[in-house]
Amino acid sequence: MEKSEVQLLWAALATSVVCYLTILRRYAGGKPLPPGPTPLPLIGNLLKLRGVVHHRLASLARVYGPVMTIKLGLNNAVVISSRDAAREAFTKHDRRLAARMTPDTFRACGFAERSVVFLPSSDPQWKNLRGIQGSNIFTPRGLAAVRPIREKKVRDIVDYFRAHAGKELLVRQAVHTGVLNLVSSSFFSIDIADLGSESANELRELVDEIIAAFAKPNVSDFIPFLRPLDLQGLRRWTESRFRRVFSILGDIIERRFAHNRANKEKHDDFLDALLELMETGKMDRDNVMAMSSTKT
């Protein structure tokens, strides 16, 4: 290793330690946290979570109690492992627990900034999008309208299992396909997992790839000040997938626009409701795309 490379490595390490100590000093005067294992600099307690994570958490809970603090890199995480503690947390402190951490992979293409899944509940845009969902999806009329679709897709899964009785069957894949079809049929009136079209199969594969990327440990999530560097390239990798998803969804939206302009019978699904809001100026195309991709 060249001398300049060694110096650069030591400089990066020293900078990381200084940043860690600065952050530690900044939050040291906050409210006391539940007990937990002593964290290491920068990586926190990540080494204690090697192996099957829920088994490791159960072992730690036997030592530190049903409510404990785990340091995930520079992030504090409180782990609740008892029924009584969970009941108290979600009945008395539900508003404080309503938000969630935004994985860096979902910051690609500004997705997290427009998604009802990751926007904080205090954000006006979240309230607007949540209201749209509440008035167009989770109403008695809306749920009743898609009930026949839900029942048919469940029957399809049962029929698939029955047809493969006595044979080796990948249950996870079958259920995953069934759920994807149930959701896509309810919202877009298409089956994204069974259609013979190339775009439908590609959309399913892209969704699977994005979920797989989200499940991978990411340095940017554990050490936030390294986020701009995207050291593992996961955000850049996910961005290319999101762009393709948005392209496919854009084609679906354009075809639906053309279908409606031709005065053909409407599907009366969630996509039609979104397009009506878009035409009246209550939603823009970016929000329609983000909400549509969330539903897939």
Q: Mind listing the pLDDT tens digit for each residue in 192-209?
A: 665 445 556 677 788 889
Angle at 153 between CA 289 and CA 157, to 5 degrees: 120
Q: What is the mean pLDDT of residues 116-144?
A: 80
Mean pLDDT of 38-65: 90
How is 229-242 classified by DSSP, letter by letter?
Answer: G-TT-HHHHHHHHH
The answer to the question of residue 93 being in a domain is yes
On whether both 178 and 226 belong to a single domain, the answer is yes
Q: Which of these ranges, 55-64, 162-171, 180-189, 285-294, has the smallest mean pLDDT?
A: 285-294
In a domain, 199, yes or no: yes
pLDDT band at 132 (very low <50, low <70, confident <90, very high): confident
Q: Which pLDDT score, from 0 to 100, does residue 248 have? A: 82
Residue-level pLDDT at 112: 86
DSSP 8-state assignment for residue 44 = B
The DSSP secondary-structure symbol of 36 reads -
Same structural domain, 48 and 184 = no
Residue 165 lies in a domain: yes
Residues 57, 199, single domain; the answer is no
pLDDT in the model for residue 66: 92
Structure tokens at 178: 């069934």
Q: In total, how many domains does the chain have?
A: 2
Residue 138 vs residue 117, higher pLDDT: 117
Over residues 258-278, mean pLDDT? 77
Residues 156 and 61 in one domain: no
Q: If you search the block for the tokens 């009506």, which residue do you land on?
A: 276
- Considering the domain architecture, whether residues 81 and 115 belong to the same structural domain is answered as no
Distance, in Å, from the CA atom of 64 to the CA atom of 87, rounded to the nearest integer, reads 19
In a domain, 105, yes or no: no
Regarding whether 61 and 157 lie in a shared domain, the answer is no
What CATH number corresponds to the domain at position 158? 1.10.630.10
Task: Name the pLDDT band for 30 (thresholds 50, 70, 90).
Answer: low
- Owning domain of residue 91: 30-97
pLDDT at 232 over 60: yes
In a domain, 214, yes or no: yes
Greater pLDDT, 217 or 133: 217
- Check: CB of residue 272 under 8 Å from CB of residue 264: no
Are residues 124 and 60 located together in one domain of the fold? Answer: no
Domain boundary at 97, 118, 136, which? 97
Same domain, 46 and 189: no
Do residues 181 and 207 share a domain?
Answer: yes
10 occurs within a structural domain: no
Q: Domain end: 38, 63, 97, which one?
A: 97
The pLDDT value recorded for residue 62 is 93
Higher-confidence residue of 70 and 150: namely 70
Same domain, 77 and 115: no
For residue 8, being part of any structural domain is answered with no
Q: Which residue has the higher pLDDT, 47 or 293?
A: 47
pLDDT at 293: 67
Q: What is the mean pLDDT of the chain?
A: 81
Is there a contact between 223 and 73 (Cβ–Cβ < 8 Å)?
yes
For residue 140, tell me if it sits in a domain: yes
Q: Do residues 219 and 284 share a domain?
A: yes
Examine the fold and report which residue of 66, 97, 128 is the final residue of a domain before the chain moves on. 97
220: exposed, middle or buried (Cβ count in 10 Å: 0-12, 13-18, 19+): buried
133 shares a domain with 277: yes
Q: pLDDT above 70 covers what percent of the chain?
A: 84
| Confidence at residue 21, expressed as pLDDT on a 0 to 100 scale | 61
In this prediction, residue 37 carries a pLDDT of 93
Amino acid 196: pLDDT: 44
